[in-house]
């Protein structure tokens, strides 16, 4: 397969991936805050490390977080100033990974 064929194949795959991402989706904490994301943007190595640092009873609901306390933890342990900023970047990271899945494009 030559370079043009590979590019066309990757673009076709990305188009199919985009169709899967289209519409409304619900994401779990673990879906968004993967080890790859955490290692790239924070001092946390795993999702468990992040959850251990955040004083919440139920990590499945982002709205249940004590925002000032969590924002302070995120600010000290990442390049983000707030949990909301980190969450927004995690959604973008998730979408870009979803688009490039199965292609030769690497967003890490």
Q: Which of 15, 14, 21, 43 is nearest to 91 (CA)?
A: 21
Q: What is the pLDDT of residues 66-93, one digit of tens each?
A: 678 889 999 999 999 999 999 989 988 8
Position of tokens 């890490």?
108
Q: How many CA atoms lie within 13 A of 36 on its CB side?
A: 11
Whether 38 has a pLDDT exceeding 60, the answer reads: yes
d(CA 78, CA 81): 8
The pLDDT score that the predictor gives to residue 68 is 84
38-44 mean pLDDT: 95
Task: Please report, for the chain, the start and end positions of each structural domain, with discontinuous segments joined by +.
Answer: 3-100
């Amino acid at each position: 397969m030559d370079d043009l064929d590979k590019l066309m194949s990757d673009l076709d795959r990305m188009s199919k991936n985009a169709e899967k991402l289209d519409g409304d989706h619900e994401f779990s904490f673990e879906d968004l805050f993967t080890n790859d994301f955490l290692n790239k943007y924070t001092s946390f190595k795993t999702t468990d490390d992040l959850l251990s640092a955040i004083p919440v009873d139920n990590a499945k609901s982002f709205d249940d977080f004590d925002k000032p306390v969590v924002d302070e933890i995120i600010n000290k342990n990442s390049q983000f100033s707030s949990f909301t900023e980190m969450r927004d970047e995690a959604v973008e990271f998730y979408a870009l990974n979803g688009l490039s899945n199965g292609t030769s494009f690497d967003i890490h």
